[in-house]
Structure 1
């Protein structure tokens, strides 16, 4: 069978616009189908445009979306189904909104879909009924909806038997500068606002260290993003992986999502730092951690069921920085304990503890979460325009402020963090501190000849292009010195650009107008 997979582009501007990084579900399923003799291929819209004509020639098209990308997924599904191409939808949104999904597609995969999709393709290929495929919702020829029994999460044995996703099956894969790799599924925690546990369960399934090392070697990447919901869950396993990476000289620069205290401390009771793990992370190439700090209010953290304190945040930032690891802090505002001042307090806190970059998101009730069910029950949901459910828009009435005040507070706070002084001062300090190293690198690599080009890019505020131009062709060691030194000011400059562009887009302005009409 000819099967195509699509991962739609997020709507408008968002914090990860320049992250040319696909999720791994589509290439994994395509790899599994290839192994079974099918013609499978993927389109990730952030890497390269979807070839709709190619999809129209397919026997089945799978579209994997999140809540904010679901409207685009529905439009694609409508176009393909109208042309007679059956579509199967998957991902966290339709897992919990299957009836809605069936208004646009013949099939919906609920939950983990890797084995479900293989059984569905076999059934379609053999013209058999899908009635016995667990985890599948489908429409019959009379357009009646059927919801088969759920499929449980895959076992540890099944997870380890999954193949390495073939990234070359993604159209435009050569554009990836950072490559994704997943070492485990699931999260043992249960935050109120997060759909991960509902989608993948709280049962964490691990790949063997040798499997991860084989995939890492095959990626041949200078930078890797570990796509795990949490990279550090079982510390013994993490230490073993990092030691083996060092032993085999598989140490690209890498990024990962981690928790705060659970990563940097041996135990919360003793507050003793886990210096061995921090050293291993640094030596094995950890460049930046992305930490869900969520709030600087202990009351808010308790309401979220985060099992974390503000002290944990402060200690984590300090310890990561001691080992040269940059910190991207992810915060949520608009919780039931927050006032309009919370966003500004969060930025002041982030500056005080020297968090390198931040992501200030508005609490968003995603379908499948306890927060969504509570917001529905309390009548607080403002809109079900799913494209706005990206964390950048107020879609739920906060308890202690008007939603427009929340929206404006988020924007104002982000502008303050990504202000010109907060970009220029770190840049100046970096240039002064690294001036001798920069001079040596520049002279031995003929960088002065590039100064007119670099100046032109700077004048046009094209900071990422400037860094790419500066480092292209440099030896790996020199390139890493420059990238590491200039990363924070460049990322902050990028953040400032994104805020400006985000405010100017039509659907954001329309949403601000809507919020202004609310009582």
Structure 2
């Protein structure tokens, strides 16, 4: 079959606040790339379209010109308002086309999305590779879709969930993502996320053992590992075919299994690969020998999700980490020569404005190379989302277009803070963090590439925008007093 796999139309305005749009970029969607590879291996012809590059009409026309028989669309809740009209327009142009969606948003709220449009034929729930392959085979052969696990379908006017799909136990059975089907030369990462380009993204594992209040775990709570040799095979493929100089691993908990990490590091060194890489880790899952091995194999930065500078709020978030563990991990990482990227959130249930100021001070104490500050967001399917709908924690917008961490407005407001205070904390955090002479000297003396020079320029523009916003907010506050 001829299948169009599509990321719906979107742009920086849809996902970022005005003050950070200048540093925004676009990565390919790994899940959709994996599905494209699996479907191609099944003998299907694939058209891969990225909505960051095209308008709704341009992608509709490309889908029509391709003579697509099936349309699969990647959906997160934030962009459903973009995906829905695209699906409807394609269905109107090709009434016989079979339409399906998948992704985090589709998995978390399938009934809600299916009920909102008549143009949708099926929703893939959970990991999509095997389910999508079986779904397309059933459509092609006329088999009953009820026989395919992991779907939400329509059955005589009613919604019907087929039995759940088991997680893929052996990730090594999957082909490499079909990056060759994407317009890779048009993608570029956000400036704060890598040290150089060309950069590619990868997964060495799936799943997370954490239980954080705000996290939706589509890949389950068991961590499944890829063979280290295959991981490095993929890295080497990108180096040889795309000139890749850096890899960003999107694993939720890269350092969960130390032997797995050692295996990857040893294989990189054995092959003599010269490449930088970036991972995410928990503060309680690193030690000196592991970090030393990672440094020697090219790891230049580790992302630690710190979230708060107060232990009581880490406990509320069910992080199961302590501030001392975080301090020790960041200090140890820096001592090895690996830089850190730390993230923080404001608007935690029970948090006050004064608590947020203490988190800013904790961030300054840790002094990571790069940082991000977000308003907490109750994504559908998370414990936070479910709690809010039971009258707990605070209030939230029901507009799916508000469900983003990088927007200029908070989706969620706890009972202990206002929306204005959350966004003021975000502005103050960036201003107080970056406008420190010692830190500015550190950044200027640690430039690793021309790409980082550009990143610093665009970051400076974002900071000046935040300063202007803060002055304006203070002026308005003084006028109304």
Question: By the TM > 0.5 criterion, same fold?
Answer: yes
Please, which of 367, 377, 381 is the counterpart of residue 390 of structure 2?
377
Distance 1:5-1:92 versus aligned 2 partners, 3 A rule: same
Query: Which position in structure 2 is the counterpart of 1:132?
Result: 147
Instruction: Tell me how far 1:185 sits from its aligned partner.
Output: 0.6
Determine whether 1:150 maps to 2:164.
yes
Distance 1:482-1:372 versus aligned 2 partners, 3 A rule: closer
Instruction: Tell me how far 1:79 sits from its aligned partner.
Output: 1.9
Alignment of 1:234-249 (within 5 A): 234-249=257-272
Determine whether 1:166 maps to 2:178.
yes
Instruction: Tell me how far 1:106 sits from its aligned partner.
Output: 1.5
Instruction: Tell me how far 1:51 sits from its aligned partner.
Output: 2.9
Contact 1:278 1:320 in 2 (8 A): yes
Instruction: Tell me how far 1:72 sits from its aligned partner.
Output: 1.5
Query: Which position in structure 2 is the counterpart of 1:450?
Result: none
Instruction: Tell me how far 1:122 sits from its aligned partner.
Output: 0.9
Instruction: Tell me how far 1:120 sits from its aligned partner.
Output: 1.0
Contact 2:30 2:177 in 1 (8 A): yes
Instruction: Tell me how far 1:350 sits from its aligned partner.
Output: 1.6
Please, which of 164, 187, 191 is the counterpart of residue 212 of structure 2?
191
Determine whether 1:59 maps to 2:25.
no
Query: Which position in structure 1 is the counterpart of 2:16?
Result: 13
Distance 1:226-1:430 versus aligned 2 partners, 3 A rule: closer
Query: Which position in structure 2 is the counterpart of 1:122?
Result: 137
3-state SS of the aligned residue for 2:112?
A: helix
- Mind listing any 5+ residue stretches in structure 2 that lack a counterpart? 189-197, 473-481
2:413 and 2:400 map into 1 onto residues whose CA distance is 16
Query: Which position in structure 2 is the counterpart of 1:444?
Result: none
Question: Could you tell which deviates more after superposition, 142-151 or 103-112?
Answer: 142-151
Query: Which position in structure 2 is the counterpart of 1:287?
Result: 300
- Mind listing any 5+ residue stretches in structure 1 that lack a counterpart? 264-273, 435-480, 510-519
Please, which of 232, 241, 258 is the counterpart of residue 281 of structure 2?
258
1:187 and 1:202 map into 2 onto residues whose CA distance is 5
Distance 1:503-1:145 versus aligned 2 partners, 3 A rule: farther
1:91 and 1:429 map into 2 onto residues whose CA distance is 39
Instruction: Tell me how far 1:194 sits from its aligned partner.
Output: 0.4
2:433 and 2:382 map into 1 onto residues whose CA distance is 30
3-state SS of the aligned residue for 1:404?
A: helix
1:138 and 1:498 map into 2 onto residues whose CA distance is 45
1:200 and 1:35 map into 2 onto residues whose CA distance is 23
Deviations 1:227-261 (A, max 9, x none): 21121110111112111111111241111111112
Distance 1:4-1:241 versus aligned 2 partners, 3 A rule: same
Please, which of 302, 321, 327 is the counterpart of residue 314 of structure 1?
327
Determine whether 1:73 maps to 2:83.
yes
Query: Which position in structure 1 is the counterpart of 2:51?
Result: 45
Contact 1:107 1:139 in 2 (8 A): yes
Deviations 1:291-310 (A, max 9, x none): 11111111111111101111
2:460 and 2:399 map into 1 onto residues whose CA distance is 26
Query: Which position in structure 1 is the counterpart of 2:477?
Result: none
RCO higher in structure (CA 8 A, sep ≥6): 2
Instruction: Tell me how far 1:382 sits from its aligned partner.
Output: 2.9
Please, which of 220, 231, 242 is the counterpart of residue 201 of structure 1?
220
Contact 2:28 2:187 in 1 (8 A): no
